[in-house]
Amino acid sequence: MLSNDQKNTVLAATTAASQQWQAAFNAGNAALCAAQYEPTATMHARPFGTFTGTTEIQAFWQKLIADGFSDVEYLDPTIEVVDATSAVLTSGWKMNNAQGVIHKELWVLQADGTAKLRVDDFEAMS
């Protein structure tokens, strides 16, 4: 059983990291977006494909930003603390010309106390 302190630590790190990712995307900074992922992370971006590692993930975000996508906003996000080192975020999302669902963002605490994405599974819907 997790203590409230453990839950709060994971929740705070996940919330901060998610907000950093959103701010990086909205600033048009694909490198900073990719920096929020673990080096071997997997991103399943439906219907675009699966991307593994920060190089592929950064290239995906860079193309999306270059194509004019911006202003992401999470709609009613939910964060469930899984254990002492990880949490899963689910949410709806919208941006200037797309919307969809985040099926699973698995955020994992790192040695420095920050959280990074290990798994990102989202879907763009019309």
Domain CATH code at residue 104: 3.10.450.50
* Percentage of the chain exceeding pLDDT 70: 99
Q: What is the pLDDT of residue 1?
A: 85
Separation between Cα atoms, residue 23 and residue 96, nearest integer Å = 15
Strands 86-95 and 73-83: antiparallel
Q: What residues make up the domain containing 11?
A: 4-125
Domain count, the chain: 1
Nearest to 37 by CA among 26, 23, 52, 19: 52
Indicate the average pLDDT of the chain: 97
- The pTM of this model reads 0.96
Q: Which amino acid, one-letter code, is at 17?
A: A
pLDDT digits (tens, 9 = 90+) for 33-63: 999 999 999 999 999 999 999 999 999 999 9
